[in-house]
Amino acid sequence: MKPEFKRIMLKVSGEMLGGKQGFGIDGDAIEVIANEISLVRQMGVEVAVVIGGGNIFRGSIASKWGMDRASADYMGMLATVINGLALQAILENKFQQQTRVMTAITMTELAEPYIRRRAIKHLESGRVVIFAGGTGNPLFTTDTAASLRAREIGAEIIMKATKVDGIYDSDPAKNPNAKKFESLTYLDVIQKKLDVMDATAVTMCMEAGLPILVFKMGDPGCVQRAVAGVKMGTVVR
């Protein structure tokens, strides 16, 4: 398959790493994600990844316990680092892919600090770059981190891997009559308050004309097909 993109940003939620149980790190689930990334790298596509941390800790929920929101969000950022290191280990040890984990919060014993020019150099050298630690600031989601990093590194598309095969007007797990959208505009997502990305993330993509593909992660080669331009999921333009 011939790729339509040279450089992509893959956004993976933390829950995807939790597998069927939805929490912690499931070996089979993280191997599926690593295999998809490896297949895309074999196409010669440069791959950047942003992973959430919801399978370990979610700051927005912890703040409801009475915890200071900033502290809770920093804990969530640390959870994304754990997920990033786990993905790095699988990619390198099982799929022989060169990787770099770059964090927005400095922790030099574990990963490189995020430096834009260095990240681009890693991508050009064929390494998978995993961005962890969110934006490095509380009150921002990992979706916003994905949009920010995608724009900084010049990614051509954000591919958001989920457990659902696109964007619906309501939760398809609860509503069997939920309508799936084939395509949407950025303003559609914001005005309809669709649960895709937060408004900040969508606005950042809109300003740059950066498309977002929301698709289901699961079938072998799904990311590879998406990169090749096979129609799937929902595209936001």
Q: Residue 51 — φ and ψ, nearest 5°?
A: -115, 140
The CATH architecture assigned to 7-236 reads: 3-Layer(aba) Sandwich (3.40)
- Give the tens place of pLDDT for each residue, 55-76: 998 777 777 788 888 999 999 9
Answer whether 58's CB lies under 8 Å from 18's CB: no
Q: List the chain domain ranges.
A: 7-236
Answer whether 154's CB lies under 8 Å from 214's CB: no
> The pTM is what?
0.94
Q: How far apart are CA 208 and CA 73, in angstroms?
A: 27
- Tell whether the torsion through CA atoms of 10, 78, 208 and 235 is positive or negative: positive
- Give the tens place of pLDDT for each residue, 80-114: 999 999 999 999 999 999 999 999 999 999 999 99
